[in-house]
Structure 1
Amino acid sequence: MSTPLDSTYGAWLVSLFIETLLYGMGVLQTWIYFAGRPTDVASVKWTVLVVLALETIQVVFFFHSSYFRFVERFGQIQIDLYWADSLQLLAAYLSAFIVQLYFASRIHKLTKARRKLSLSAIGIYIIFLLAVFQIVAGIVQVILTYKLRSFLKLSETKAVTTLQSVTSLACDILITTYLCLFLNTQKGEMMGTNMMMDVLIRDAINRGVLTALSSALNMVLFLALPNTFWFFLGLAPSSKLYMNSLLTTLNSRQHLRDKVAASDEGWNSIPMATMATRSGNMPKKIQGQASTAAVDFEMASVEINGKTEDFLPCPSWRT
C-alpha cells in the first residue's frame, strides 16, 4: 500500500538516482570528447565545458538539498523550498537552453546556403524564439518558487511551468523535424549515401524523442498529480538528456566516418564534381574536392575559419 512518502520523497530519491546515472554518463562522454583532441572551433569546446559546469552545479545542489532534508532535518515534516532547490533548477534550465541553441545554430548554418526567405527560414527563427521563451519562462518559474518558499504553493506556478514545458517540447520537435527534412534533401542516386542519411534521420528522431518525452512527462505529471513530486521524474533527468545528446553527437562523428570509409560499397569513391553534377545542389566551394570532403559533406560538416565544425544528429544513448 502506497504512502504519502512514495509520491514525495520516494519520487525525489528515484529522480536523484536517475539523474546521477545520466550525469556520470555525461562526464564520461566529456572525457572521451577532450581525450580525442577535437579540432572543433573554440565555441564548440566552450559549449561542452559550460554545459558540464552547469550540470555539475545542478547535481551538487540537488544532492545538497537532499542531504539537508534527509540527514540534517531527519524525521521532520518539511514543506519549505530550500535555496538550493531554486539554484539547481536554474542550472538545469540554462543547460537545456544552451544545448537547444547549439542544435538550432547548426541547423541554421547547414541550411543557410540553400535557404531563402520562406516558411523554412521562418521556422528556423521560430526554433530560436521557442528556446528563448523556454529559458525566460524557466527563469520566471525559478523566481516564483524562490518567493513562494513552499512546495504546497507550487500550483500557483502552473501557468509559467506549463509554458516552460510546452515551449521546450515544441522546440525539440521542431529541431528534430528540421534535421530530418535537411538530411532527406541530401539523398540522391547513391544507395550508400541514402542508407547513411536514413541512419542519421533515425538517430535524429531518437535524440529528439528522449528530450521531448522528458518535457512532456514533466508537464503531464505536474498538472495531473498536484502536491506530489512525481513530476521530478521528467524534470530532474531532462537536462542530463540534453547533455548526453550533445556529447554523443560530437563523439560519434569519427565512428561514422570510419564506418563509411571501411564500407566495401565505395560510398566515398566518386569524385565530388560528379556528385555535384548529379545532385545539382552541392556547395560550390567544395565541388571537385577529394572523396574525404564528400564524406564530410554527407555527414553534414561545415567548414568555418579553417576548421571543420561537424554536426551529426545522434541519439543520447548511442556511441
Structure 2
Amino acid sequence: MVSPLAPTYGIWLTSMWLATILYGMGLLQTWLYFHWYSQDHWGVRMTVICLIVFETLQITFFFGATYAALINNFGDFPALFVITWVDSAQLLAGYLSAFTVQMYFAYCLYLLNKKHKIVTVLIMALALTQIGAGVAQTIKTTILGSFLTIDSTKQITSLQSASALACDLVITVALYQTLKSKKNGLKDTNTLLQKLMINAINRGALTAVAAAINLTLFLALPGTFYFFLGLMTSSKLYMNSMLATLNTRQHIMRATQSSDHAWNSIHLAGLSTASSETGTQMVTRLNRDGTELAGIESGIMKPNFVENMI
C-alpha cells in the first residue's frame, strides 16, 4: 500500500537525499579547488567561499525543516503542511546560490568578449529577475504559511523558474559562440577550445534541465512536492557545475599538450585579441611561481587572469 504522504514528504525525502549527495560532491570539489588553485584571483576564491556558505546554509535549513516536520511534529498531520521560517530560509539560500553562479559566468563572458556587452547585460537582467522573483516567492510563501495554498504562487514561481532556465540557456549559447569565435590556425588552441565548448554545453544542460523539471512539475502536478526534484537539486547543480569548470582546467590543458608545448593553462583574454589568420601564434612562458603567461607574437605579455575565471 502506497502512503498518502508519498507525493509530498516521500518526494521531500528523495529530494533531500539527492541534494545531500550533490552537496557532498560539492564539498569535495571545493577542497580540490583550494588545494589545486590556491593562487587563483581573490575574487574567484571569494565567489567559491560565498557559494559554499549559501549551499551549507541551504542543506542545513533543509535538514532542520525535515526534522521539525517528521520528528517534532510526528503524528500531527496538519503541522506537516505549515511553512516555517526554516523552509523559507533554505529556499532563499538556494536562490542566492544560483544567482552567484549566474553572475560569475556573466563576468566570465564579459572578460572574454568585452566588445559585445549586450549578452552580459541580458544575463545579468535574467539573473536579477530570477533572484527578484525568488525573494518575492520566499516572502509570499512565508506570509501564506501553508503548503496547501502554495499553488497561489504559481505566477511568481513560473517567473523565477522561467528566468533561471532562460539565463542558463543564454549563458550556454554565449559561452559556446564566444569560444568558437576564438578558434584560429593553431591545432592545440582549437582542441582546447573544443573541450571548453563541450564543458559549457554540459554545464548549461544540467542546470537548465533542473529548472525545466521544477517549472513543469510545479504546473503539471499541483498539490504535490514532485517539483522539489528540480528545485532542491538545482542550486547543488549550480555549485558543482561552477566548481567542475574551475577544477578541470589543468586536466583540459594537459589533454591538449603537443610535442612542442607543455601547457598547464592558457590566457583566454589573449585569444580575444588574436587574429584567426594563419601565421598568428600564441607564445607562452612560465613565471617563477609556475603561473603561465600568454600573449600574442607581437611580444605583449599579460598576466594569466582569465585562466582563473574559466
Query: Does TM-score exceed 0.5, indicating one fold?
Result: yes
Q: AA paired with 1:85?
A: D
**TM-score normalised according to structure 2 size:** 0.86
- Paired residue secondary structure (1:310): helix
Equivalent-residue separation in structure 1 for 2:188 and 2:250 (angstroms)? 18
Aligned to 1:68: 68
Q: AA paired with 1:93?
A: Y
Q: AA paired with 1:179?
A: L
Equivalent-residue separation in structure 1 for 2:279 and 2:233 (angstroms)? 40
Aligned to 2:107: 105
The within-5 A match list for 1:198-213 is 198-213=194-209
C-alpha contact (below 8 Å) 1:210/1:241 kept by paired residues:
yes
Verify: 1:290 aligned to 2:292, yes or no.
no
Aligned to 2:31: 31
Equivalent-residue separation in structure 1 for 2:118 and 2:108 (angstroms)? 16
Aligned to 2:307: 310
Residue-by-residue CA offset, 1:48-96 (whole Å, 9 max, x unaligned): 1111011000000100010111111112212211210000000000011
The within-5 A match list for 1:5-84 is 5-77=5-77, 78-84=80-86
Equivalent-residue separation in structure 2 for 1:33 and 1:266 (angstroms)? 25
Q: AA paired with 1:38?
A: S
Aligned to 1:90: 92
Give structure 1 stretches of 5+ with no counterpart: 314-319
Once the two structures are TM-superposed, the CA of residue 6 in structure 1 deviates from its matched residue by: 1.2
The verdict on how the C-alpha distance between 1:121 and 1:4 changes in structure 2, with shifts beyond 3 A counting, is same
Equivalent-residue separation in structure 2 for 1:32 and 1:49 (angstroms)? 13
Equivalent-residue separation in structure 1 for 2:55 and 2:191 (angstroms)? 35
User: Which stretch has the larger CA shift, 96-105 or 38-47?
Assistant: 38-47
C-alpha contact (below 8 Å) 2:44/2:309 kept by paired residues:
no
The verdict on how the C-alpha distance between 1:162 and 1:216 changes in structure 2, with shifts beyond 3 A counting, is same
Aligned to 2:253: 257
The verdict on how the C-alpha distance between 1:47 and 1:258 changes in structure 2, with shifts beyond 3 A counting, is same
Once the two structures are TM-superposed, the CA of residue 267 in structure 1 deviates from its matched residue by: 8.5
Equivalent-residue separation in structure 2 for 1:311 and 1:279 (angstroms)? 27
Equivalent-residue separation in structure 2 for 1:260 and 1:288 (angstroms)? 14
- Paired residue secondary structure (1:4): coil
User: Which stretch has the larger CA shift, 186-195 or 103-112?
Assistant: 186-195
Residue-by-residue CA offset, 1:118-171 (whole Å, 9 max, x unaligned): xx4323211110000100000000000000000011011000000000000000
Give structure 2 stretches of 5+ with no counterpart: 264-269
Higher-RCO chain (CA-CA 8 Å, sequence separation at least 6): 1
The verdict on how the C-alpha distance between 1:129 and 1:267 changes in structure 2, with shifts beyond 3 A counting, is same
Equivalent-residue separation in structure 1 for 2:256 and 2:134 (angstroms)? 41
- Paired residue secondary structure (2:238): helix
Equivalent-residue separation in structure 2 for 1:48 and 1:101 (angstroms)? 12
C-alpha contact (below 8 Å) 2:91/2:138 kept by paired residues:
yes
C-alpha contact (below 8 Å) 1:188/1:194 kept by paired residues:
yes
Once the two structures are TM-superposed, the CA of residue 249 in structure 1 deviates from its matched residue by: 1.1
Verify: 1:136 aligned to 2:150, yes or no.
no
C-alpha contact (below 8 Å) 2:285/2:292 kept by paired residues:
yes
The verdict on how the C-alpha distance between 1:247 and 1:278 changes in structure 2, with shifts beyond 3 A counting, is closer
Name the % identity.
43
**TM-score normalised according to structure 1 size:** 0.84
C-alpha contact (below 8 Å) 1:165/1:219 kept by paired residues:
yes
Verify: 1:172 aligned to 2:168, yes or no.
yes
Once the two structures are TM-superposed, the CA of residue 310 in structure 1 deviates from its matched residue by: 2.1
Q: AA paired with 1:166?
A: A
2:216 to 214, 217, 220: 220
Once the two structures are TM-superposed, the CA of residue 201 in structure 1 deviates from its matched residue by: 1.1
The verdict on how the C-alpha distance between 1:277 and 1:147 changes in structure 2, with shifts beyond 3 A counting, is closer
Once the two structures are TM-superposed, the CA of residue 195 in structure 1 deviates from its matched residue by: 2.5
The verdict on how the C-alpha distance between 1:297 and 1:107 changes in structure 2, with shifts beyond 3 A counting, is farther
